[in-house]
Amino acid sequence: MVGAVLILHFGTFRIAALIWQRLGVKAEPIMAAPFWSRSLSEFWGKRWNLGFRQLAYDLIFAPLHKKVGAGTAGFIVFVASGLIHDFVISLPARGGYGLPTAYFVLQGAGVAAERSNLGRRLGLRRGVRGWLFMAACTAGPAFLLFHPPFIRHVIIPMMQALHSL
């Protein structure tokens, strides 16, 4: 699973950007060294899947942040991302419904925690503590995102099909 995610997000997307650049299109890579993030906010806001980040900003965050505040609008973006991931992960897997949404709700809660007074006092947005908090929040609950029905019904058949080529 880790290998497939890394190949897709850092190999395939990077190669696609390079091909577009070679054709004269100003295409930036979709990932911006996410492992170098010093905080959970930096990971999701500036380094991971920048294409989705921009789309979510334009369609969800920007219209809502003046009405409900930046924190609530950001949390709604995480909920929307969870619902989208449930649609593309749980639906094809015929199970695990709600687990990807729970993963992204936890991410939103993590961002809120690191931005809280306590999170600031603990240094969760910088340095080694920020990186450790980001790594624990993103990797720790990853089983919610890549749940057993997804592994059984999507990943294993895909790997078997690739192996038979």
pTM given for the model: 0.89
Residue ranges of the alpha helices (H) in 1-141? 2-6, 13-22, 40-42, 50-56, 62-68, 70-85, 91-93, 99-115, 117-122, 127-139
On whether both 59 and 102 belong to a single domain, the answer is: yes
Domain count, the chain: 2
Q: Using an 8 Å Cβ cutoff, are 87 and 96 in contact?
A: no
Summarize pLDDT for 120-139 with one digit per residue, the tens: 999 999 999 999 999 999 99
Average pLDDT, the chain: 92
**Tokens of residue 80, six digits:** 């929307």
Per the structure, the complete domain to which residue 89 belongs is given by 35-163
Instruction: Please count the CA atoms within 13 angstroms of the CA of 146 that sit on its side-chain side.
Output: 12
- What integer pLDDT is reported at residue 5 of this predicted model? 67
Burial-class residue 82 by CB neighbours within 10 Å (0-12, 13-18, 19+).
buried
Q: Is the pLDDT assigned to residue 97 strictly greater than 90?
A: yes
On whether both 19 and 99 belong to a single domain, the answer is: no
Instruction: Please count the CA atoms within 13 angstroms of the CA of 165 that sit on its side-chain side.
Output: 5
On whether both 5 and 51 belong to a single domain, the answer is: no
On whether both 22 and 49 belong to a single domain, the answer is: no
pLDDT-based confidence at residue 9 (cuts at 50, 70, 90): low
Residue given tokens 């058949």 in the structure block: 157
On whether both 112 and 86 belong to a single domain, the answer is: yes
Distance CA 69, CA 14 (A): 34
Burial-class residue 137 by CB neighbours within 10 Å (0-12, 13-18, 19+).
buried
Q: Using an 8 Å Cβ cutoff, are 16 and 110 in contact?
A: no
Distance CA 116, CA 114 (A): 6
